[in-house]
Amino acid sequence: MSDKVILAGLGGQGMMLLGRLIAQAVMLEGKNVTFFPSYGTEVRGGTAYYHLTVSDEEIYSPVIEEADALIMMNYPSYLKFKELLKPDSMLFVNSSMIDKIDNEKNIDVFRVPATKIANDIGNVVASNMVLLGAYNQVKNLVSIPIFLSCLKNVLKGRKEPFFEVNKLAIERGADFVKNF
Amino acid sequence: MMLTDENKKYLLTGNEACAEAAIQAGCRFYYGYPITPQNEILTHMAIRMPQVGGTCIQVESELAAINMVHGSAAAGARTMTSSSGPGISLKQEGISYLAGSELPCVIVNVQRGGPGLGDISPSQADYFQAVKGGGHGDYYTIVLAPGSVQEAADLVYDAFDLADTYRSPVMILGDAQLGQMMEAVVFNKKCEPDSFKKEWALTGANRRKRNIVKSFFSVQGELEEFNAKLQEKFNLIKSKEVRYEEINTENADIVIVAYGTCARICKEVIMKNKLPDIKVGLLRPITLWPYPSQIIQEIAGKVQAILTVEMSAGQMVEDVKLSVLGRCPVHFYGRTGGGIPSPKDIIKKITEIISLKENTTCMT
């Protein structure tokens, strides 16, 4: 098993946390993981992107040339990375912010209205966790409690009150793709 | 953030792993001045040093950092500083003084694009500076090049031991990619800093003859004698401390020589068998000084060609050529200014080399 995923969104949309949670959770499950964040001289509103490789074997190149999946939070990110998708790969999009998708490569597209779902449960900031839930559900990576324990480690102190809404977001994301 | 459970895996950046391994190795004095892409080292040290009773100072300049390292090392403590390209250049005077005073310490260089202020993306263009001395005078520093976050941690432990064994500065030569990426890391290497008796250290000459730590020799002939002693030490290091990783070099048509991030990218080509018709091997130097010349020389006698891959315009390739000594053709593929070679680039280059060889055969 080897899974190469590119995550991207607007700086501030929480892709770093989303990627880190997946990396942390699969690491606890005994898999090898390499998580490479972009860290350029970014500007507000720029694209922040992350290369995440999960594998049962040793991971060699940390840079992804061909992705097994993309998790895209906004339209400019999608435009930037769509060419890197392999045929028969998976595309997870925040359909609240990405509506036009060209699908020439026979890709499995999961349109998840992450911003809307997060908004509906009371905190738009949790849209990244909606996509996390959706991605995990489809890929069947780890059980939700593992994510929740990783999330607890991140949301400490003054961030603790945000735990419940993030938990709910993960569950809603997972529920949403169950119908696909 | 307490990272003391030796059976536990932590998801850390290469930078954090270097910092934590230094603490576990008994480093209690860290001095740093911020520069991307190595700031996580300073940040981690600022959090952790107070927890272990150590000292972390964010100093006013790179010069101050390296000279504070000089002070702590002279007093016999395990000490470290870190920086990237431009900052490491500023430290060179201090590194030369450390080598001249035979003081053990660890310096981490998380390489970024150059020359000048360059950029903050991955690079391997500080190779010359790292392995050829760097500062003034006849000296070398031991240079270790990790290829993963775990290896970065492991080599930091070793760096402190090597520094104390040879009374020499040791450099960890990483790059922005390695510094910034996160992987699982376990801190379970046993380290016994107290097993190194530092009788030369300046600890207060209470009922013993005073020690002197210096790199200045004013009496005619003294400095030449000291240099001879240094060279003897460097020869000893060359004979004992060479490290490398070899993959599929046996019966290979082409062997790639690459270190750090580039080696990992080349490994992808080899391990995933992306060139099924060509036997490709990899020689990954782990010590860049002392350089694994001997093994490269042996390989050169058995292969059609050697390919050196670097994130530079061609620096390590000079040492490869010096090892090969004309026994086989040496090719080079490099990217600069933040460009990272991709497995596709390597495959293209190797295919080119093979077709070049076939053409030459046709002509003769």
Which CA distances in Å does A178 have to A97, B2, B42?
21, 39, 45
Checking if the pLDDT of B169 tops 90, the result is yes
- pLDDT score of B2: 59
Given a cut of 80, whether residue B100 has pLDDT beyond it is yes
DSSP letter at A93 equals E
Among the ranges given (A96-105, B92-101, B112-121), the one the predictor scored with the smallest mean pLDDT: A96-105
Per CB-CB distance under 8 Å, the chain A contacts of B267 are 60-61
Instruction: Lowest mean pLDDT of A38-47, A98-107, B109-118, B228-237, name the range.
Output: A38-47
The ipTM assigned to this model is 0.93
Nearest residue, CB atoms, A63 vs list B9, B11, B265: B265
- Is the per-residue pLDDT at B233 higher than 50? yes
Q: State the average pLDDT over residues B164-168.
A: 98
Kindly tell me the burial class for residue B328, based on how many C-beta atoms sit within 10 Å of its own C-beta (0-12, 13-18, 19 or more): middle
- d(CA B111, CA A85) in angstroms, rounded, equals 30
CB of A123 less than 8 A from some CB of B = no
Two domains, one topology: B10-197+212-240 and B245-363: yes
**pLDDT tier at A38, thresholds 50, 70, 90:** confident
pLDDT in the model for residue B364: 42
Interface of B with A (CB under 8 A): 9, 11, 36-37, 119-121, 176-177, 180-184, 261, 264-265, 267-268, 271-272, 340, 342-344
pLDDT tops 60 at residue A84: yes
The per-residue pLDDT for range B263-320, each reduced to its tens digit, is: 999 999 999 888 899 999 999 999 999 999 999 999 999 999 999 999 999 999 999 9
Using the predicted structure, report yes or no on whether residue A41 has a pLDDT greater than 90.
no
Average of pLDDT values for A64-68?
Answer: 94
Please compute the mean of the pLDDT values over residues B147-157 and round it to a whole number.
98
The predicted model gives B236-249 an average pLDDT of 98
Examine the pLDDT at B52 and tell me if it is beyond 50: yes
Whole-angstrom CA distances from A108 to A19, A76, A87 are 20, 20, 10
pLDDT per residue as tens digits for the range A126-162: 999 999 999 999 999 888 889 899 999 888 899 999 9
Are residues B181 and A62, on separate chains, in Cβ contact within 8 Å? yes
Residue matched to tokens 């500023």: B90
- Among B11, B180, B265, the residue with its CB nearest the CB of A39 is B180
Q: Is A61 on the interface with B (CB under 8 A)?
A: yes
Does the pLDDT value for residue B1 go beyond 60? no
Q: How distant is the Cα of A120 from the closest Cα of chain B, in angstroms?
A: 33
Instruction: Determine the residue among B175, B177, B181 to mutate to test chain A binding: the one whose Cβ has the most chain A Cβ atoms within 10 Å.
Output: B181
From CA B35, how far away is CA B27, in angstroms rounded?
A: 21
Q: Which pairing describes strands A108-112 and A85-94: parallel, antiparallel, or unpaired?
A: parallel
Cβ-defined contact of A27 to B264 (cutoff 8 Å): no
Residues of A in contact with B121 (CB under 8 A): 40
Q: Summarize the confidence of residues A156-170 as an average pLDDT.
A: 93
pTM confidence score? 0.95
Average pLDDT in the B334-349 region?
94
Domain B10-197+212-240, architecture per CATH: 3-Layer(aba) Sandwich (3.40)
- The whole-number average pLDDT for the span B134-139 is 97
Decide if domain B245-363 falls under CATH 3.50.50.60: no
Q: Under CATH, what is the fold of the domain A2-178? A: Pyruvate-ferredoxin Oxidoreductase; domain 3 (3.40.920)
Instruction: Tell me which residue of B250, B17, B212, B27 sits closest to B102, measured CA to CA.
Output: B212
* Mean per-residue pLDDT, B345-361: 86
- Say what the pLDDT of residue A2 is: 83
Taking CA B201 as the corner, what is the angle to CA B197 and CA B203, rounded to the nearest 5 degrees?
105
Which residues of chain A are within 8 Å of residue B12 when distances are taken between CB atoms?
Answer: none
pLDDT category at B7 given cuts 50, 70, 90 is confident
Tell me the percentage of chain B whose pLDDT exceeds 90: 91
Segments making up each domain of chain B, as ranges: 10-197+212-240, 245-363
Distance, CA of B15 to CA of B176 (rounded, Å):
9
Mutate to test the interface with A, among B182, B269, B282, B345 (most CBs of A within 10 A): B182
Q: Are B170 and B159 spatial neighbours (Cβ–Cβ below 8 Å)?
A: yes
Mean pLDDT value across chain B: 95
Contacts of B109 (CB under 8 A, 6+ apart): B82, B83, B84, B85, B88, B126, B130, B171, B172, B173, B174
| B363 pLDDT above the threshold of 70 | no
